[in-house]
Structure 1
């Protein structure tokens, strides 16, 4: 039987928990939170996101902060303002963001707006739609207060003009390490997943897409279920590599559904990779596909077609860990 004294003690404990000082709440967030993202630049993107999680903020705010860092502070030829243009010399940006409750937003083929991930969030929160594209996406961004600015850098324009000499379009496996003129970092999307102190998940994906793509081409990054998928009940997944393969397989959704069936994050990523290989065995030898997953318990897993995919993990214990995923093909194709 619960006595009056027991009831008062329980009530006081509960009240004390609600009145925790900010530092204690932040410590709790650090103990439970986790941020993961694709590629080596994910380490710094994670730091931007981790500040939000460690301060008790939401996973949604965290992934937006991490993606914004990549879009603005990172100068990378596949993400944000330093991205390489398409074959017509036009820089277009794609992004998506998704909360674990199913809300999501995306923009594709967006020009002259520095932070597509934030525009994607506005699409999610301010419109009845999920995706806006091209001129319509830009018009909406301007209406929402985003400034138009020229994003194509002199370096990216120079790389494009160099590419025009041959105009050869051939995506390279892990091209950021291939050191090929005009092809450096050809398909390194930033995909980010976060788990906050309340146990909620969110994800974001941002990219300038493949260099020298056809004008109007859209990859997997802004397509919910392909480049990104999040479900609070199960986990989250994101992808990098040749986006057409992710679209063909509804890949990130597939990874989450495989986790729903009981697979670990790594096993789910491996099964999704195996499906790409089974469907297109010859093509799989010449392109890169990578998956990264985080389940609701904070467990992380990744898998790739080819060696060289790295991902960053940030939590209270590992604030700058960079790990290499396992792969189907142990060595890169030469």
Structure 2
């Protein structure tokens, strides 16, 4: 493989004046490797999220700034994107499956290792909140399809049509162009995965998505699956994924990254290794995207992605800034 380094974007919220990352400039093959490095000091609280979801990280940060717990920050941040009708990859307004049905997946993990998830759930706008209810109100860890929807209604959630006119028009256009064939749609990959540490040093995480655009009915990706789309170990750290869920599932990527941090890897090193496991096992990696974000107990963070357009941003003192980072891997 030939590796060419260049800049990327993603989302981080952290304590004002506490995060002082050292960022290398864009470099080319043969030059010094470009990595995100965080201060070695303990940093709490902190929020990291995939992609440029600055409204979500801001919402989560506001919870932490008031002394709230990390689990509440995760829900606040994820709900922000679920409610954004302009975001066609998460929640209300999400791109439908190939039959025109919006199906949602989400999971959440708390500081104690508690886990709740919903998969293939329709007609409920906030799957992250339903996933939390599964974790806290049932003896189970995952509910699917109609059962998840029924449970949500019983818990006070309202049914609503999640297919917006904009998403419907895009789906109808896709049907003509694709001849209704299930395809890999890498343009619709912006799952939000979020990790947070509160003032007590406790870590929680969440992941929510409408899944791959125009997927086959019943398809489930990595986002709601513990150890794949999300994993938290409050003694070590957390990791979350975005991109092609099938590839993350095959390598149990988020669990792998946390275990690598347990063995002494930095979050950045662990994210890079998680991506490399996929690259080395699938020669077609140029045809899809996978990215990881991770934090450790110190509040250090890292991110890595197979393709460009991914990295980390920071909400600080009411002003959004962007940290450039990451690497790009391509065939020689």
TM-score by length of 1: 0.83
Q: 2:51 aligns with which of 26, 39, 47?
A: 39
Gaps of 5+ in 2: 1-14, 20-42
Q: 1:154 — aligned with what? A: 165
- Within 2, Cα distance between the matches of 1:164 and 1:93? 21
Gaps of 5+ in 1: 1-25, 176-185
Does structure 1 residue 304 correspond to structure 2 residue 305?
A: yes
Shift of 1:311: 2.7
Shift of 1:310: 2.8
Alpha carbons of structure 1 residues 298 and 314: separation in structure 2 relative to 1, 3 Å: farther
Where does 1:281-292 land on structure 2 (aligned, <5 Å)? 282-292=283-293
- Within 1, Cα distance between the matches of 2:154 and 2:140? 16
Q: CA RMSD in A?
A: 2.2
The answer to whether the Cα contact below 8 Å between 2:108 and 2:205 also exists between their aligned partners in 1 is: yes
The answer to whether the Cα contact below 8 Å between 1:189 and 1:206 also exists between their aligned partners in 2 is: yes
Deviations 1:256-275 (A, max 9, x none): 00000000000000011111
- Within 1, Cα distance between the matches of 2:74 and 2:201? 15
Q: 2:135 aligns with which of 111, 117, 124?
A: 124
- Within 1, Cα distance between the matches of 2:295 and 2:68? 18
Alpha carbons of structure 1 residues 196 and 69: separation in structure 2 relative to 1, 3 Å: same
The answer to whether the Cα contact below 8 Å between 2:109 and 2:205 also exists between their aligned partners in 1 is: yes
- Within 2, Cα distance between the matches of 1:69 and 1:241? 20
- Within 2, Cα distance between the matches of 1:285 and 1:293? 23
Q: Which has the higher contact order (CA 8 A, sep 6+)?
A: 2
The answer to whether the Cα contact below 8 Å between 2:223 and 2:229 also exists between their aligned partners in 1 is: yes
Alpha carbons of structure 1 residues 82 and 145: separation in structure 2 relative to 1, 3 Å: same
- Within 1, Cα distance between the matches of 2:300 and 2:320? 16
Q: 2:147 — aligned with what? A: 136
For 2:168, what is the secondary structure of its paired residue?
helix
Does structure 1 residue 322 correspond to structure 2 residue 327?
A: no
Where does 1:1-334 land on structure 2 (aligned, <5 Å)? 32-40=44-52, 42-73=53-84, 75-167=86-178, 168-173=181-186, 175=187, 186-280=188-282, 282-314=283-315, 320-329=320-329
- Within 1, Cα distance between the matches of 2:217 and 2:254? 25
Structure with the larger helix share: 1
The answer to whether the Cα contact below 8 Å between 2:304 and 2:311 also exists between their aligned partners in 1 is: no
